[in-house]
Structures are given as structure tokens and as C-alpha cells.
């Protein structure tokens, strides 16, 4: 363990017990078990609770950043409301150390002040009131999260009097080609127009060298946040199926406009307070008339949800998006993903070569029709997956309105008792 960010070695250094607990937390996180800070706090003694809490927070934020997962301050302020002041102070300290990153998202020493880009001089909580875009039209309110390539802010559109989200590319953390991806994302989302299950893009611009995209603000958080709060428990099956069905409607709309998403995962699926699902972040979107991936595309993809053909650099299709959806539905219904590994390469290898265990093996409440559908979505060959996102949405909606069939118990972990290939409804 390293000393707390911003502290001198030896000043309030964590105890050996704190080190051991944090090491166990990091190991569980890297193994894909979805550890919760609250559970690991219970392992420490009362004397070192504050230090343990600080170290666990820092560990989780570092891990999420390095793996390009969203880190949203508001989520932690609400989750640890009784310690909100400590969380905010620690966030300032941690975030100040994230001003420079390498290509793989690992932090590096900060650049000298003269090398900073305009608009990036200070992104601490105290500076948000002075940060704006488009000649003051978009006034930043707070930082929602940060990945290896993009900071995401909540802002206020002063012209239309509404909250919006601004995705600001970090110019020092991305290559020149990534700026093209921002324009591609905006164009892809704009081509989709208005759809109840797609995040709407409002604007795209550049100011003082900073490229940004302005999109709809979805207030309910992401599916990734929902899963993190529930782990190790799965979501209620009706809720998981409703989320997946609405995500399929968004994919069907995108595919009808000749756009592949290519990065379907819980962090890119957002929830409105009324339960409406919104698919966003089309940063890897690809036109159906150009379906060959580059090595850069593969590098920025998400290994945990990647389709076998996408991982191999082969031609992708709407069925590639359906595979990723299948991984997400598996995770929501079973409480865990189908494949885990110590490295991204190990996970990708399983996507290509390994047969997934039936999700009902982890959650016996999953009925046979849903079990079969998830495994169809995870078929290695695109030809063996459902024919379209609309077909999957129809199947899920049919399951929600009908009683599930009794489960057959004489089966192995990798079977479901059925052999259908095209989303047979119960």
C-alpha cells in the first residue's frame, strides 16, 4: 500500500491491519467479485476506521479509473452521507493527482503549470463555478465522473434553462485520433434523432483546445451504479428484464439507422427516475458500411463485454451488440458476469473459447426461458445468436407478461434443458 494521496510517509500512515484489509479489497475487486467498501470496513477495528475508510475509498477510485469505469462524486456523497465532508475533502486530494495520465489510464506525475491546457488549470470542486463552455452558455456545476479519456460534468444550459452533461476530452490522455471519435460519437447520436431509449446529443464544440460533447442529463444513475450497490446480489428478475428489453429497443433503433454501438455495458446504460432506460456513450459507434475494427478500437473497448468476433478484429454486426447485451443481462440476473480473469487478455480468451455456465447455476430463480435466451445471446458464432435486437426485446417483454414455465432440475451447469436458437418465448 502507498501512503494516502497528499500525505507524507509516516504521517497518519495506515496500520498493517489496514494494509491487509485494503490488499484483500483490491484483490477481490480485480477478481471481479464486486467488493463493497461497507463490508470491508466491518473487518477493521474501531481505532482505525477513519484511516481504513480513506484507504478503501482511494483504492476503489484508483481501480475504477484505471479500468475506465465511472467515478462519480455524487454517488459516494449519497452512499456515505454521514461522512460526506470527509468524502468531499478526500475527493479534492485524489482528483488533484489525476491531472496527468498515460495511455493505459495509470496516473503519472503532474505536468508543470505552463503545460496545462486552457480550461484545465484547476478542476477541484472549488473551481467549478468558474468553468464554462460556449462563451458561458454551459456553466459547470459538478464533476460526475472520469475515465482514462474523458471527464464528465453536470452543467447548466443558461439559454434553455436545463441541466446537461458535458463530456470533456482530456487532451493529455488521448491520441489525436480520439478527437475524431468525439465527432463520430456526436454524429452517430445525432443521426439517431429523438428516441425514448437513447441519450440525446445537444451540442459539440471546441473551446481553447478542449473538445467537448453536450448530451441529455439522465438523473437516475447508470446500471453499473445499480449493480455496484446490489453486489453480490443480482437484480430482481423483472427489473433486469425490463432494463434489457429497453436497451434492446435502443439497439434496434440504432441498427435500423445502420449504427453499431460496440460498447454496450452497464456503465453506458442509464436509468431515468421513472424507470426509463437510456443507452448512451456512442463513442465507439460504427457505421454498418464500415465494420472492420482497428487495433485502437480494440484497445479502448471493454474486455468484460466484448463479442468474440470483435475481440478477434473480425467483422462486427448487430449480433456483436447483442452478445454484449447478453453479458450485461447475465450480470444483472445472476449477480456476476460469465467470465472473470486476472487480466483483460484472460477474459477475452474465455469470450472466444469458453462455454459460459448457465446463469441459473448462480441464481436458481432464473426460469428456463430466460436462461435459454441469455445463452443464445452468448453464442460464440453470430449466426447462432438472435436475429435482431427487436426479437430479443419482444421475447423479454413476453416473459414479463406471462408466468414462467417450471424449471427442469436434471441438467448440468452449462445447459438449460432447451435447444432453441431464436428467442423462444415461454
* Radius of gyration in angstroms for the set of CA atoms belonging to the chain, rounded to a whole number: 22
Res 114: pLDDT: 38
* Dihedral in degrees, nearest 10, Cα atoms 385, 388, 391, 395: 40
Q: Write down the catalytic residue from 263, 281, 321, 371.
A: 263
318 near 388, Cβ under 8 Å? yes
* Phi/psi at 177 (5° precision): -65, -25
Task: Give the H/E segment covering residue 311.
Answer: helix 308-311
Q: CATH number of the domain at 126-216, please?
A: 3.30.200.20
* Dihedral in degrees, nearest 10, Cα atoms 285, 247, 343, 25: 130
Res 179: pLDDT: 58
* Dihedral in degrees, nearest 10, Cα atoms 278, 283, 284, 289: 90
* 143 vs 207: CA distance, rounded Å: 18
Task: Write down the residue that cell numbers 493529455 correspond to.
Answer: 172
Length of the chain equals 426
| 371 belongs to the catalytic site | no
162 near 175, Cβ under 8 Å? no
225 near 78, Cβ under 8 Å? no
> Which residues are CB-contacts of 406 (< 8 A; sequence separation ≥ 6)?
none
> Which residues are CB-contacts of 218 (< 8 A; sequence separation ≥ 6)?
165, 199, 270, 271, 272, 278, 280
192 near 39, Cβ under 8 Å? no
Res 189: pLDDT: 65
Closest C-alpha among 313, 311, 413, 329 to residue 378: 329
As averages over each run of 10 residues, the pLDDT of the chain (426 residues) reads: 35 54 77 80 80 86 75 81 81 64 34 37 48 87 71 88 84 53 64 83 78 84 88 93 97 90 89 91 53 43 84 89 97 94 83 94 95 97 96 96 60 44 48
The Cβ of residue 335 has, within 10 Å, a number of other Cβ atoms equal to 18
CA distances from 87 to 1, 48, 91 (A): 20, 16, 6
Res 185: pLDDT: 59
Expressed in percent and rounded to 5, the helix, strand and coil fractions of the chain are 45, 15, 45
What residues does each domain of the chain span? 16-71+78-96, 126-216, 223-400
* Dihedral in degrees, nearest 10, Cα atoms 111, 117, 119, 122: 10
* 230 vs 222: CA distance, rounded Å: 13
* Interstrand relation of 162-169 and 210-216 (parallel, antiparallel or unpaired): antiparallel
Quickly list DSSP for 374-425: HHHHT-SSGGGS-S-HHHHHHHHHHHHTSPPPPPP----TT--S----S---
201 near 215, Cβ under 8 Å? yes
Task: Write down the residue that cell numbers 482528483 correspond to.
Answer: 95
> Which residues are CB-contacts of 390 (< 8 A; sequence separation ≥ 6)?
248, 249, 252
* 213 vs 229: CA distance, rounded Å: 29
Class of 223-400 in CATH: mainly alpha
* 378 vs 327: CA distance, rounded Å: 7
∠ CA 347-372-245, nearest 5°, is 85
* 395 vs 374: CA distance, rounded Å: 11
Amino acid at each position: 500500500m502507498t501512503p494516502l494521496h497528499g500525505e507524507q510517509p509516516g504521517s497518519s500512515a495506515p496500520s498493517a491491519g489496514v494494509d491487509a484489509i485494503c490488499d484483500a479489497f483490491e484483490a477481490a475487486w480485480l477478481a471481479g467479485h464486486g467488493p463493497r467498501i461497507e463490508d470491508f470496513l466491518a473487518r477493521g477495528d474501531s481505532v482505525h476506521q477513519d484511516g481504513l475508510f480513506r484507504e478503501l475509498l482511494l483504492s476503489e477510485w484508483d481501480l475504477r479509473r484505471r479500468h475506465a469505469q465511472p467515478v462519480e462524486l455524487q454517488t459516494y456523497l449519497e452512499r456515505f452521507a454521514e461522512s460526506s465532508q470527509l468524502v468531499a475533502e478526500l475527493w479534492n486530494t485524489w482528483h488533484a493527482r489525476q491531472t496527468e495520465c498515460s495511455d493505459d489510464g495509470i496516473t503519472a506525475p503532474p505536468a508543470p503549470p505552463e503545460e496545462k491546457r486552457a480550461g484545465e488549470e484547476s478542476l477541484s470542486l472549488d473551481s467549478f463555478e468558474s468553468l464554462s463552455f460556449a462563451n458561458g452558455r454551459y456553466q459547470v456545476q459538478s464533476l460526475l465522473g472520469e475515465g482514462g479519456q474523458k471527464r464528465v460534468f453536470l452543467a447548466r444550459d443558461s439559454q434553455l434553462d436545463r441541466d446537461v452533461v458535458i463530456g470533456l476530452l482530456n487532451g493529455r490522455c488521448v491520441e489525436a485520433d480520439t478527437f475524431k471519435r468525439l465527432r463520430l460519437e456526436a454524429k452517430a447520436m445525432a443521426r439517431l434523432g429523438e428516441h425514448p431509449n437513447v441519450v440525446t446529443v445537444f451540442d459539440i464544440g471546441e473551446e481553447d483546445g478542449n473538445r467537448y460533447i453536450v448530451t441529455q442529463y439522465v438523473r437516475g444513475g447508470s446500471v453499473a451504479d445499480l449493480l455496484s450497490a446490489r453486489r453480490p446480489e443480482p437484480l430482481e428478475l423483472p427489473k433486469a428484464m425490463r432494463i434489457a428489453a429497453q436497451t434492446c429497443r435502443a439497439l434496434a433503433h440504432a441498427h435500423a439507422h445502420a449504427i453499431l454501438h460496440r460498447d454496450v455495458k452497464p456503465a453506458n446504460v442509464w436509468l431515468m427516475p421513472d424507470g426509463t432506460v437510456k443507452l448512451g456513450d456512442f463513442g465507439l459507434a460504427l457505421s454498418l458500411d464500415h465494420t472492420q475494427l482497428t487495433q485502437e478500437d480494440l484497445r479502448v473497448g471493454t474486455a468484460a463485454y466484448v463479442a468474440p468476433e470483435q475481440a478477434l478484429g473480425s467483422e462486427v454486426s448487430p449480433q456483436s451488440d447483442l452478445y454484449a447485451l447478453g453479458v450485461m443481462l447475465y450480470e444483472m440476473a445472476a449477480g456476476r458476469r460469465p467470465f472473470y480473469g486476472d487480466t483483460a487478455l484472460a477474459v477475452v480468451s474465455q469470450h472466444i473459447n469458453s462455454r459460459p455456465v448457465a446463469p441459473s447455476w448462480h441464481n436458481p430463480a432464473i426460469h428456463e426461458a430466460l436462461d435459454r435466451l441469455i445463452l443464445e445471446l452468448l453464442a460464440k458464432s453470430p449466426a447462432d445468436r438472435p436475429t435482431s435486437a427487436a426479437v430479443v426485446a419482444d421475447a423479454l417483454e413476453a416473459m414479463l407478461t406471462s408466468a414462467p414455465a417450471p424449471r427442469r432440475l436434471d441438467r448440468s451447469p452449462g445447459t438449460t434443458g432447451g435447444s432453441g436458437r431464436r428467442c423462444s418465448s415461454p
